[in-house]
Amino acid sequence: MTLTPTAVANTAVANTAVANAALANAAPAGPARPADAVSLPVTIAGRAFPTNRGGLCKKGWTAAELLGSADRIREPMLRVADGSFAPISWTDALDLVAGKLRAGRAEHGADSVGVFGGGGLTNEKAYQLGKFTRLALGSSRIDYNGRFCMSSAAAAGNRAFGLDRGLPFRVEDLDAADTILMLGSNVAQTMPPFIGHLDGARQAGGLIVVDPRRTATARLTDDGAGMHVQPAPGTDLVLLLGLIHLVITERLADTDYLSRRTTGFDQLRFSVAGWYPQRVQEHTGVPVWQLQGLARRLAAGRGTYILTGRGVEQHVDGTDTATAAINLALVLGLVGTTHSGYGTLTGQGNGQGGREHGQKCDQLPGYRKITDPAARAHVAGVWGVTPEQIPGAGIPAVELLNALGRPGGIRTLLVHGANVVVSAPDADRVRQGLANLEFLVVCDFFFSETAALADVVLPVTQWAEEEGTMTSLEGRVLRRRRAIDPPAGVRSELWIFQELARRLDAPGVYSAEPGDVFDELCLASEGGIADYSGLDYALLDAGEPAYWPYPAGSGGTPRLFLERFAHDDGRARIVAVTPRTVLVPAQTEGALTLITGRLLEHYQSGSQTRRVAELSDAQPEARMQVHPATAASLGVVDGGWVELANERGIVRCRAQLSADIRPDTVFLPFHFPADQRANLLTAGATDPISGMPEFKRTAVRVRAIDAPGLSAPDHERVMADA
């Protein structure tokens, strides 16, 4: 069948989370198969929508291939004695899992059972996962992969504005901007349909891209369209402090706005006093002339936006760096106007909604705090339990993964929508932790690298096979519509929660109907920060643009903060931040800085996109991007093999020489499995405020090696090809 515009409509594809939604649900793969061998259950069509204007990225266009993929798991699978998997009936699988959950809880306590969720889950699934963990398992130990994604920006937004909605404005508002500063974001590859919204700024010569690499996005600044700023990785906080310093000393600050709408400016002024341009240049490598030009352009813009991405947020000081970007926006008077602003570009398909309804360890639905007695009382009322039956705050993702298999830690784990063996930092430690568990249950559509380690794998529905909602990066709630029936042996996660809860004699009601779960979610969110209580499927199906907060009787809120910020006093809080990490840019003798990130063709851990022939043919393996001068000094040739190593691990892959990267930096995508996992090298160090790991700055030693596992003639051929 064809997914008609309306059918696709509200799914994934509709928004800018857009591409991602498509992606989130579309992504990765194993061995490549010819495309014509796959019979597609649906075809995909674009649809006029304000954020993507009918456009999708490659991963969206090829997403149908995943529905009928030969790799699809079509019945529950049980690990058997020889380590392989054998099919098992749903009844037996659920009885077994429920029995293990009961026994684990009885033997080691409720907090020995952990749950790991994902930002690709629909709002309904994310909500139910949080409720199931707290009530049916009685455990506080839930967190999710959004901790690796949006947590620093979320913490910074909450701290500054009292509320975290990725963009407090509409994506189309960017069209009228003449100046856009993008820090650590490569939208041309990670959200291709979005780049049309940069055209206005490019025509006005005002697109500024800050990235240690000259990416496809940085290249959008060529030919007078703007400026590419290429700092050393991890120095964005200093760069931003330097810009704030310049804005203040050159009297470009909006003092009227600061006194009307913010608190904390005096401390900020004091804290940036020492960050004069020459010193900032020494730390970041960004020349003084460029800093000055940048500060002046931002202040002169009529319509200036500052946007951050993972490049500046996935650091141990990610929250403070996002805070500094917000401070810069506040000093310039940009936030809470109709023509300028600050925002963060959401990652996964439901990166926004996934962080609002309770799969974060410290959170209840409606973006409520689990430690707030009033929030507990409200949610307990909706769930039909007493507040005492809801456990307290749990532990964030990296801590949770570190506790796997440890005495007093997590002994049983349920995974819903993440492939942590590939995507979590210090990945080999994660693999060991999973191996030390007493019982691992993974819900997925494919044998991801994490599912391959499970005791039981439960096959679940994919995007076009289920109803639900997702919330876009602009806080707009969108419907996902079921277009086709799932394969016979596949079940929805809502049904799995219902069946397990029944077997566990859990308090509370667990409907398997997405519409019922959404209605309950709306009630639970009522009065919270992310208030959905005025919404229902009928309103969303009618195409009503529903931006939260959307309490009953409201028309939704496309632009936040026009009158006031969400703190009690209505003001934005300027929080003075300073670098905590070691500031010396030069590293250990001989070490290079590894940054990790994304390629256009692959999605995240690759477990979906590596299963789409077109995508995996285009990018079959990891390649390390390296500057030709650095390569020459290491004896590395284009296409030749290299080894990246540090105290945590070793990655072997081919090199790709490119003058688009700083000579002191190398880049690896994190989409590849086995011994090409970039996360074998990244550290489990986290931001003390957000729990975000340091994905973007890792010291590595690089050397040229012979092709691994190739005989001498093969090796010569490879080298000749290179």
Ligand X SMILES: Nc1nc2c(c(=O)[nH]1)N[C@H]1C(S)=C(S)[C@@H](COP(=O)(O)OP(=O)(O)OC[C@H]3O[C@@H](n4cnc5c(=O)[nH]c(N)nc54)[C@H](O)[C@@H]3O)O[C@H]1N2
**CB of residue 19 to Mo ion, shortest distance in Å:** 12
Q: Rounded to the nearest 10 degrees, what angle do helices 277-284 and 236-249 cross at?
A: 160
State the binding string over 546-585 for ligand X (x if CB under 6 A, else -): ----------------------------------------
Stretch that binds Mo ion, among 43-51, 146-154, 276-284, 392-400 (CB under 5 A): 146-154
120 binds ligand X (CB under 6 A): yes
Determine if 312 is a binding residue for ligand X (CB under 6 A): yes
The verdict on 149 binding Mo ion (CB under 5 A) reads yes
Q: Which of residues 693-722 bind ligand X (CB under 6 A)?
A: 695-696
Q: Which of 489, 691, 482, 511 is nearest to 125 (CA)?
A: 511
Nearer Cβ to Mo ion (347/394): 347
Q: With binding defined as CB under 6 A, does residue 607 bind ligand X?
A: yes
CB of 437 to Mo ion, least distance (A): 25
**Contact range with Mo ion by CB under 5 A, out of 141-149, 246-254, 410-418, 464-472:** 141-149
Task: Assess contact for 661 and 626: CB atoms under 8 A.
Answer: yes
565, interface contact from ligand X, Mo ion, none, CB < 5-8 Å by kind: none
Within 453-492, the residues that bind ligand X by CB under 6 A are 460
Min separation Cβ 41 and ligand X, Å: 17
Environment class of 671 (CB within 10 Å of its CB; exposed 0-12, middle 13-18, buried 19+): buried
Task: Tell me which residues in 671-690 interact with ligand X (CB under 6 A).
Answer: 678-679, 682
Q: Which residue, 218 or 535, is less far from ligand X as judged by CB?
A: 218
441/453 Cα distance (integer angstroms)? 9
183 near 308, Cβ under 8 Å? yes
Task: Choose between 120 and 556: whose C-beta lies nearer to Mo ion.
Answer: 120
Binder of residue 62, out of Mo ion, ligand X, none (CB less than 5 to 8 A by kind) = none
How far, CA to CA in Å, does 261 sit from each of 158, 396, 558, 617?
Answer: 16, 33, 20, 52
Gap between the Cα atoms of 9 and 25, Å rounded: 14
Terminal Cα-to-Cα distance of the chain (whole angstroms): 44
CB count in 10 Å sphere of residue 654? 19
Give yes or no for residue 328 binding Mo ion (CB under 5 A).
no
Shortest separation between residue 690's beta carbon and ligand X, angstroms = 13
Using CB atoms within 10 Å of the CB of residue 508, give its burial: 0 to 12 exposed, 13 to 18 middle, 19+ buried: middle
Only one of the segments 155-163, 206-214, 257-265, 332-340 lies at the binding site for ligand X (rule: CB under 6 A); that segment is 206-214
Residue 97, interface with ligand X (CB under 6 A)? no
Nearer to ligand X, 233 or 394 (CB): 233
Q: Enumerate residues 216-245 that contact ligand X by CB under 6 A.
A: 233-234, 236
In the list Mo ion, ligand X, none, the entry touching 189 (Cβ below 5 to 8 angstroms by class) is ligand X
List 60, 166, 309, 391, residue binding ligand X (CB under 6 A): 309
* 698 contacts: CB under 8 Å, gap ≥ 6: 593, 594, 595, 596, 646, 681, 682, 683
Decide: helix, strand or coil at residue 242: helix
Q: Which of residues 333-372 bind Mo ion (CB under 5 A)?
A: 347
Q: Which of 12, 63, 93, 149 binds ligand X (CB under 6 A)?
A: 149
Q: Which is nearer to ligand X, 28 or 162 (CB)?
A: 28
Q: Which is nearer to Mo ion, 76 or 354 (CB)?
A: 354
Q: Which stretch binds Mo ion (CB under 5 A): 74-82, 97-105, 142-150, 186-194?
A: 142-150
Report the partner that residue 630 touches, choosing among Mo ion, ligand X, none (CB closer than 5 to 8 A by kind): none
Classify strands 476-480 and 546-547 as parallel, antiparallel or unpaired: antiparallel
**Helix H or strand E encompassing 152:** helix 151-161
Is the CB of 20 or the CB of 498 nearer to ligand X? 20
Query: Of 147-155, 193-201, 634-642, 668-676, which segment contacts Mo ion by CB under 5 A?
Result: 147-155
CB of 76 to ligand X, least distance (A): 13
Amino acid at 722: A
Among residues 104, 114, 118, 166, which is the contact residue for ligand X, using CB under 6 A? Answer: 118
Residue with tokens 């380590």: 83
Helix (H, G, I), strand (E, B), or coil: what is residue 592? strand
* Amino acid identity at 234: G
The span from the CA of 433 to the CA of 536, in Å, is 41
Nearest in space to 353 (alpha carbons), one of 242, 475, 450:
475
Distance CA 379, CA 525 (A): 8
**Of 60 and 341, which CB lies nearer to ligand X in the complex structure?**
60
Write the interaction track for ligand X spanning residues 331-360; mark x where CB under 6 A is met and - where it is not: ----------------xx------------
CA-only gyration radius of the chain, Å: 25
Q: Measure the CA–CA gap between 682 and 399, rounded to whole angstroms.
A: 15
* Two tokens, residue 378: 């409200």
Instruction: Say if CB 124 and CB 132 are below 8 A apart.
Output: no
Select from 304, 469, 608, 676 the one that contacts ligand X (CB under 6 A). Answer: 608
Within positions 24 to 43, which residues make up the interface with ligand X, using CB under 6 A? 25, 27-28
CB of 454 closer than 8 Å to CB of 504:
no
In angstroms, the CA 466 to CA 338 distance is 37
Site for ligand X in 174-203 (CB under 6 A): 183-187, 189-191
Question: Which tokens is 676 given?
Answer: 């090409």
Q: Which helix (H) or strand (E) holds 361?
A: none
Across-strand partners of 703?
Answer: 643
Contact call for residues 28 and 451 (beta carbons, < 8 A): no
| Total site size for ligand X, rule CB under 6 A | 65
Distance CA 506, CA 583 (A): 52
User: Which residue of 547, 550, 670, 672 would you call a contact of ligand X, by CB under 6 A?
Assistant: 670
Count of positions on this chain that bind Mo ion (CB under 5 A): 2
Q: Which is nearer to Mo ion, 41 or 693 (CB)?
A: 693
Rounded Cα distance between 223 and 163, Å, is 38
Does 426 bind ligand X (CB under 6 A)? Our answer is no
Query: What CA–CA distance (Å, rounded) separates 622 from 81?
Result: 34
Cβ 682 to ligand X, closest distance in Å? 5
Q: How far is the CB of 614 from Mo ion (least distance, A)?
A: 23
According to DSSP, the residues that pair with 652 across neighbouring strands are 643
With CB under 5 to 8 Å by kind, the binding choice for 169 among Mo ion, ligand X, none is none
Amino acid in position 477:
V
Residue numbers of the site for Mo ion (CB under 5 A)?
149, 347
Residue numbers of the site for ligand X (CB under 6 A)?
20, 23, 25, 27-28, 118-121, 145, 148-149, 183-187, 189-191, 210-213, 215, 233-234, 236, 309-312, 314, 347-348, 416-419, 422-423, 443-446, 448, 460, 493, 595-598, 600, 602-605, 607-608, 670, 678-679, 682, 695-696
